[in-house]
Structure 1
């Protein structure tokens, strides 16, 4: 019989103390995952995994070590603690290391209100097979689709528990259900592919397989007969499904790890404008049924809604305890970790202020330029914000889509780009990064 996760963590903390640790925290994760891949209507691959992972972080003074294992026997727990303490004693001192003070800890939370776990039963392999087969069939029903590269359905459930010698103990359960389809059209050097997919916490929220397969096919057909765009300065419209990458660069630049290293193009931007006036970027870890929600962070601190950017102005960094101490600030409750590693700062759910115009309005108003629907590779200088990425999409001429575009590079500087974005109103409300399509004027395109 599986031992409860809180009991496993209690055993880990006791073993750490017995081994000579001054302080410790422990994480236990028990998970199940099930995935099914379908090709030509037949089952191509099915996988099921079940595992329990445990991790222990120990402190000997301000020396730290982290160990992990997938064996939960008492012998292994004892050996882990002994090994961790021995490693810590050999580690260099870290003046910023340490657990949270007891008065910093989360003491009340309502994980149930966040709806992180679907109470519905785990889907059967047959149900996942049916979803994937239906998505594949819907894609193949679209004229011009020659094959479906993959149609996959999956399910996962994880129980997470965190405990520490400062008195914190808490846990929650998380589920996810996903479906995706990749369609192919054309042949040889003219072959094109595109995809669609959906991932939700609750199975009942998942879009239908027919919708996912059809949309994947339609996106693929739209990419046929692609050409290279001209080289020059043009407006670029990032489609909603790739626009969050721009905000992702901003989030990376305000992460405490980048700030403490001095490797951020926004390291001197606190309390200055980084987005256009009127735009805000708000983090909310308490949105129900969203993957980035959590009742407390990986150091036992309470999570809370906060403005990262307000009316265009950068309000603060994303911090865990260590980066906060290094910067002389307070943690923002953004520590994340797995069983096998220590905490580091991470963003939760974020939402960018949406605009009033639709994507079609922006296409009409941009005149001539590129609508980016997919991106390949990147060359980003984190210190300067210099930006260069491979892209593909649709060419806009006189406010109308004329043909597909591939094999081009878009370039600029992220600081300038972020200050110039014009948002549409088409963001999906259920995703972790609620970011609409974004128009950036005057980017450099390299094509022919």
Structure 2
């Protein structure tokens, strides 16, 4: 990798050079993405260094369009000869691709005027943390977990940092870019031995290091969650209310977001394909996307097609307001893009969501547990069987069994099942959503799901 590519100005130069090469090779339209990434990750175990990893590199990607056909190519090499060769290869590939008349760049008057992200504060402006500092953070998280009586070991304690700069250029006149940083601390604690072993974790991620909790707080939380899992057993089988703890509640809303993705709707493979303008959540509940939240993980000033992002309502008062669209899926459905395009280096744009916020409820998690009487609190899930067309839902789960409105004992090795359309219409939200998440979703109570346990 040449050092020239390490600055935003040179990421811009690489992107614009690819556009020029694509036009020379015969492309009607083109867009180019350049990405510089660097990361450091430190894992500690038994108070010694378990694993250290550092990565850094620049990757470039080019998409060309010719008469309703497209092709994408990418490489980590970016010499002038390589760029010329990839442009010719992309044009040759596009000429063999099937025609899709919905493909094409935005009209110039659709393009965002904001072409950097300083005002969103999504890149920490302090010096990058050094490996020895990350090691100390991980050691502190591990020590805090091990200090809790009953914790037999810490499987891993991790501290990591990454920084990513991107630049997007298009043949219709857009050129813009921004950086993003991420700080992470996590710990996985274990209690018991052999078949009686249980584990759990805690992890926090922030754009700015100053916004992270202290590592001791993360280590203690991992230990507490682990100790609460001791003595887990299977719950009874039957139909019960289920409370999705805030740790996993965002997954429910994630299924809704997948179903309103324009790509699924255009394929006819969404269980909400006929739901526009109808109730998909209880009355009074809103689901809002806000790509401009300061210091939030998915904030961005423009999408992967150069359109200006904006706050929008996905669900208002329970009613579905619209699909999540990029340019192509919007054209397929006869609608405007919602500036939701995302793409990787080697893939074309597709619709994607940034920061979402679900309306909180008026009760605490404990109050919802008291109200549910007898049922299951889910704190972790594994595996899934989700039918994207019908909304039929089945997942492995673990958590806590509730009797007489109080947590009675921890449970594992059970399956929960239902239909997403029905489940979402019975939601009751708690008031415990945590900030700093891409999905700000509180604990959610769902009525009448099937639990398969003992």
TM-score (norm 2): 0.98
Within the candidate set 49, 53, 76, 1:47 is matched to: 53
Q: CA deviation at 1:92?
A: 1.1
Residue 414 of structure 2 contacts residue 451 of structure 2 at CA under 8 Å; is this kept in 1?
A: yes
Match of 2:148 in 1: 142
For residues 76 and 148 of structure 1, the distance between their equivalents in structure 2, rounded to whole angstroms, comes to: 47
For residues 13 and 234 of structure 1, the distance between their equivalents in structure 2, rounded to whole angstroms, comes to: 57
Match of 1:35 in 2: 41
For residues 242 and 108 of structure 1, the distance between their equivalents in structure 2, rounded to whole angstroms, comes to: 35
For residues 353 and 299 of structure 1, the distance between their equivalents in structure 2, rounded to whole angstroms, comes to: 30
Question: Structure 2 matches for 1:189-268, cutoff 5 A?
Answer: 189-268=195-274
Within the candidate set 362, 365, 370, 1:359 is matched to: 365
Deviation per residue, 1:295-318 (Å, 9 max, x gap):
000000010000000000000000
For residues 391 and 320 of structure 2, the distance between their equivalents in structure 1, rounded to whole angstroms, comes to: 16
Confirm whether residue 382 of structure 1 aligns to residue 413 of structure 2: no
For residues 85 and 230 of structure 1, the distance between their equivalents in structure 2, rounded to whole angstroms, comes to: 60
Match of 2:4 in 1: 2
Within the candidate set 303, 312, 317, 2:309 is matched to: 303
For residues 156 and 72 of structure 2, the distance between their equivalents in structure 1, rounded to whole angstroms, comes to: 38
Question: Structure 2 matches for 1:165-184, cutoff 5 A?
Answer: 165-184=171-190
Match of 2:107 in 1: 101
Report the secondary structure of 2:4's partner residue: coil
Match of 1:439 in 2: 445
Equivalent pairs counted in the alignment come to 448
Ranges of 4+ aligned residues in structure 1 off by more than 6 Å: none
For residues 102 and 262 of structure 1, the distance between their equivalents in structure 2, rounded to whole angstroms, comes to: 31
Residue 291 of structure 2 contacts residue 298 of structure 2 at CA under 8 Å; is this kept in 1?
A: yes
Q: Which runs of 5+ in 1 are unaligned?
A: none
Q: Which runs of 5+ in 2 are unaligned?
A: none
Report the secondary structure of 2:60's partner residue: strand
For residues 74 and 300 of structure 2, the distance between their equivalents in structure 1, rounded to whole angstroms, comes to: 23
Deviation per residue, 1:412-440 (Å, 9 max, x gap):
10000000000000001221100000000
Within the candidate set 98, 114, 117, 2:123 is matched to: 117
For residues 220 and 363 of structure 2, the distance between their equivalents in structure 1, rounded to whole angstroms, comes to: 26
RMSD (Å) for aligned C-alpha atoms: 0.8
Match of 2:416 in 1: 410
Deviation per residue, 1:76-135 (Å, 9 max, x gap):
101100100010111111111111110111113561111010011110100100011111
Within the candidate set 5, 16, 24, 1:18 is matched to: 24
Q: CA deviation at 1:53?
A: 0.5
Match of 1:400 in 2: 406
Confirm whether residue 157 of structure 1 aligns to residue 163 of structure 2: yes
Deviation per residue, 1:166-223 (Å, 9 max, x gap):
0001000100000110011111111111000000000011111100011001101101
Within the candidate set 341, 358, 372, 2:378 is matched to: 372
Q: CA deviation at 1:339?
A: 1.2
For residues 119 and 22 of structure 2, the distance between their equivalents in structure 1, rounded to whole angstroms, comes to: 34
For residues 373 and 316 of structure 1, the distance between their equivalents in structure 2, rounded to whole angstroms, comes to: 31
TM-score (norm 1): 0.99
